[in-house]
Structure 1
Amino acid sequence: MASSADTQCVFSGQDVRRVPPRFSIPPTNHEVMPGGSVNLTCVAVGAPMPYVKWMKGEQELTKEEEMPIGRNVLELTNIRQSANYTCVAISSLGMIDTTAQITVKALPRPPTSLIVTETTATSVTLTWDSGNPEPVSYYVIQYRAKISDNGFQEVDGVASTRYSIGGLSPYSEYEFRVMAVNNIGRGPPSGMVDTRTSEQAPSSPPLRVQARMLSATTMLVQWEPPEEPNGQIRGYRVYYTPDMHFPLSTWQKHNTEDSSLTTISGLVPDITYGLRVLAFTSVGDGPPSDILQVKTQQGVPAQPTGFEAEAELDTRIMLTWLWPVQDQITKYELTYWEASSDNKHHVIFNPAGSYAVEGLKPDTLYKFTLAARSEMGLGVYTQPIEARTAQSTPSAPPQEVHLLSLSSTSIQVSWAAPPAASRHGNIVRYSLAYQAVSGEDQQRHEVKDIPADVSSYVLEGLEKWTEYMVWVKAHTDVGPGPESGSTRIRTKEDGNARLTGAPDLLSAPSN
């Protein structure tokens, strides 16, 4: 085979330069996505011009009889694996080759060795190993409460292999997993790891606290566990006192283990006690329940508990409470009044767990207090609770509607809001209606959505020297109130500037 040095030969008296093959455009390396495509181009020159073929390892990719001269393009499609491709240039003066590397970029592998290194009542610290020989862009942590039916929550863009997740619920089981992300996408998740957050003192009081007198000096108290125990409830503390204005630390205290029922003895007969219950974990005490008042008279009901009020309509509020532990109630007595008035209403009704108060004013705040009665006497009234009836439509139209003729084609309308007692909600907008009494256009026209803070509006494009009727309505979120009585005025006679003297003004409604 000829050396790489140039060789000269003489043919028919002429010098001919002979050049071994070399690559003028060698193939380049490529990174591709899984399933991607790429064209590998290889160009070789020499004298004589070399043939160019492609090989993959020992496999010939270019047929002998189809081997091109000088340039060969290898088309690769649906690439799934990394591989090396060799371009070979051959002439009578020698053979050279060069290799192009095709690297298939794959999704990252799952992280490994995920462990929990630290827990508090509201946070968990995780560490893990990358699990990938190549650097990854970042990590995604997914986690969820084990008792939840919701999907995973995510922490995205985690740059290191250690991270603390906060905002968790105390004494709750969570499961965690981690995924690595590169420029291809997210890799598969790591194995799951689970842990329980630490305990905390309860963050809510016991529920449904009720009491009744077993005798004039012994009280039975019962309750349900708190909604947010934040740990294992170790017991409850029952506080009681006849002096409810003193701090809780001065009240008498009765401890009980993890039970929802206890009795308190040695009470003073014929007085009213205040009662509160709290739960505690190994970490500390939770908040106490609201004060429940009990008369130390056997057979007299305690305060109704769980007393709540909810507006159902613009004139009705539904009251609900818990059924008491005693069964000797004969009547309930309800007192209610407008928050802005001292005029109180008193209602007596048969034993029930709810009562609808009807005939109330719309968009009005009311107060309610309830007591139970037995044959032995009337129990203690609850502390007042509040509820506001729903909004309604105004029951009166806007007031003081005035019209001012500005020109032959425009009228200014002004008004005042309906009386406060008849608005029944927040006025959110006004609307106008107007109609010519005579003329070519006697259709009724409307102007909608005039802002609530506007008290005048100019009607334009009217007919000259024509009498118009105008009506105004106020709207709440519920809907419009009644129209004002029709008010009339005539536009001016011509389109010039306002005439000297008093303007045409008419503000008396026409019924």
Structure 2
Amino acid sequence: MINIPTAVFSLVVLLACGVSTVTCGKHCKYDKKGAKWTPCDPSLHVRTKTVPLRKGRDGCPPAKIITRPCKTGIVINNCLYVPVSSWSECDPTTKTATRTLELRKKDSDQCDYNEVESRDCDGKGSKRGKHDKKHKDKKHKHRKGKKGKEKGEKGLKTGKKGCRYKKGPWSDCDSATKQQVRTLELKKGPSTCKQEKVQERKCRHKKKGHKGKNNKGKKGRKGKNKKKGKKGKKDPDDTPVAPPKLTEMRVWPLASSVEVSWKPPDQGTVRGYQIGYGISIPDVYSVEVNASVLHYSIENLEPEQEYIVSLRARNKAGLGSPLYETVRTGRAEASGNSGQLLLAPVGVRAITVSAYSIVVSWADSSVLKLRGGVEDTTGKVYTVRYMQLNHLSKDDKPKFVMRNTTESLVYIEGLMPYTHYEFAVRVSQGSARSVWSMAVTNTTFASVPSSKPADFTADIVRSDPTTVTLTWQPPDEPNGPITGYVIFYSKDPILPDDAWAASAVNGNRLSTLIKDLDPNSAYFFKIQARNNVGFGPITSPVTVTVPDVLPSAPINFSSASVQHDPSAVMLKWQRPEKVLEPITGYVISYTDDPNLPERSWAIQAVAGDQLNNTITDLQPNAKYFFKLQAKNKAGFGPPTNPISYTIPDVPPSVPRALTVEKSRKYPCAVVISWLPPLDMGEPIIGYIVLYTEEDALQWAAEGIKGDHRSITLRKLKPHTTYQFKVQARSETHLGPSSPPVSYAPDDGLCDSNSSLKPPTDLRVIVLSSNSAIMSWRDPMRGIPYPDGKSDAASTYTVRYGPRDNPASHTYLNPPFPSLYLVDLNPNTEYEFSVRLNRENRHSSWSRRVYNTTMEAAPGTAPVNVTVTLAEDDPTVARITWGPPLMPNGRITGYLVFSTTRRKQPMSDWQVEGVHGNTTSLTVRDMMPNTKYVFKLQARNAKGYGPMSMAVTYKTPKVYGGTVEDVTVRTSSEDPYSAVISWQPPSNGRKRIAHYIVVRKDVEADETVRMQVPGDQLTVVSHGLLPARSYAFTVQTKFRHASGPHSAPVHYVVPKELLQ
């Protein structure tokens, strides 16, 4: 074959120097300054100019034509190339696109006729083969000089500008992955530099002479490198790979020649091809051609002979596997006839122009051969056929479409977006017609979706009526990979689309949940698909009416015994977690036979929002079962799970005929007597007498053993009303107490202070969270002393303090019957009392008065703030804390502040609220290997408290990439089981110990974790519930580290499988 640029150069030399024997050389001088270069010839990629003869011998031509390549192009290893094809589609395996470059200027023998240029699919950077890389490396090495450091030395500089790293030792070779790993620690650099980096390489085996502390190995390497010159040591990663085997070759025999054409391999690097042939024996003769040549004519063959033709691809590693074809040449008379033979076009290329058009071009290798070697090119017609290869319906079959043209290029329009097509060309001239050429394929560009998502439905979630499940199917005409969907919803369908609320669904998910909708409201939903090009049309709205929401089941339902009444049980609970409508009451159902239908259970109603109730008159030694339901205006919510409580044996009943009399033997004493209970119950071993002052909360107790039924109580306060009651006791129980009996001792000889009456009408008015006013009436005012003195010297003693801590009471001595108190604690119930003082005598304490100060903002910050790793996920942390020591009221929530920059203003920190008295929070979507700072603040009805101390937490590192292609499908054996499958991370080189598959019930917030061995890529999840939405994620686990979680894949048990 004749290379076109070589032929042009030869023609120019003939024109300039002629065909005579006169030497065109140093004796001919031409004027090159005055001439101008012509514009670049796009077909030959050269420029020319004609220069006149300035001086020389008689044999010198009067003018000379000079040519040079055009300056436009790509220089690789001093070889000029120009692109001859557009960028290919992205290879999903290598994440790169490629295009072919053709040689235009050759300065060395190392130039190949074509090169393959590659770039990342995102268009960042390009790779133009090893020649270009070596050429750039030499420039950098020359510019760096002696100060340059090779990769791996101390002070390694990698990544961003100014980031210097210190190398660590290489790890041992992993027998499974054949990889070695080492860690690079940041030595110096700006804050944008990563603290650590991980390098990987193929295992390298140490050679002799490299071990030991001497420098023999290094000297040996230096000497070896010095012999090699600039080439240096060969990197094991650059080991060449043999070219792939060709898959398609066509052969056309003539009388004295054979035409060979072939299709290049889809993958691998090819620098050329070798064609071999011989009579009955392969590879007797061989010819090599460049990689851009896809056909060859083997000339000067013997007629009527059987030839074996072979074809091999060639690259730097050598020759690939051969492809053989046996062919027999024609008779010698055939070349003398006027018969004609047309060869199929070669070099067919399909270049995508848009989403709807592709340009097909080719080269005509068909030469119509006549007698005498005359070429006839008139009347040629090219037929292009093409057909669609994908996006066909079940009933449609691929059909060819034909286009005729007289040019070597055709512009095919009216194609479908993102569709794969096959193209082939043949040539015809008169009655002669070639076979079809090698078929080529290409895909049109993507376009915005031209159809709406199908089967769009909206259903209320049974367990949460304020949540709607939306499901759909992909559009029939996506016109490219679907990258997500946009959900629109609104209560008013007349509003424009931009006024509707929007929710994005990423990836290829076909369902989502819309939560927290308003009860008793009608909502309208629409959806549109999107791909990398843009958004498709929006569907018509579907309507869902959110009903009135029943309350969920109360939580923390528990039972407890009732003091002094063993036949009763105290039931306690807390409000439902999700309350959208006010609770109007509760219903308690109970029975001692759980097998009875619920309609036969006893019922007790609890009005309002009361959170406890007592069930009395239960049978002794019986086990009862209790359920609880909440009620609002929409009706009754679901019941709780039943709890049980066993009523103990019957204790002794109430003692009878309790009497209290004044003691005749002791002053300020009483004698209490009673009769035994009628219903004895368990044997009585004694009695307990309880007594207290009127309005007091605590009762004093006196025990009596045996069968004694009376007791004398001494040292009682005069003019003070007491209440007395008695209860019997057995070995295991206390019986119920008798009705209280009141009695007030009036003996004036009990106390020397009995003539002084205590103050009365004590009142306490709370003014704020820390202040109150006390006032009382002095009953002795106006009554003189026994010696006749006035009451001017009367004083008072005020006693007050927290009701639950009598030991911390405070005493004050005001001169007037009122007092202003300050420095009280907020939201604290206080006990107040006062007594009268005259000289050295004082009255008894007045009646106690209780009052509670107003609430105030929390006085202290939350305590014991801790942050720990959660869910074994480096991107999830759990924060726990304790309530403030001084809440100053009922805590209604907390604010959690977080940041990765401690010095930034608090207004720029991220804030997340926690409602109620919950003291924990799970933080997600955190950045791995990042230091976070957390602060907490409590709040009540009066405001926010102070900020807690900052707590620092650093998230662990994440190794490896994300698990890819996670899919969930229904098990063919059980509709309540799902099969989860995935692919390992494409960029992962570490050995995976195992996988963690997490199944989360979105509605019940329950999580199930499954451990899967590292060599397994699928698992079955059993026990799924109908009408429940589940989210599945997969995470890689290495020996000492974890990988990130995959994006959640949602799954709902299909309704049609449950019918």
Which category describes the TM-score, using the shorter chain as reference length? 0.3 to 0.5
Higher share of residues assigned helix:
2
Higher share of residues assigned strand:
1
Structure with larger Rg: 2
Q: Normalization by structure 2: what TM-score? A: 0.25
Q: Normalization by structure 1: what TM-score? A: 0.47
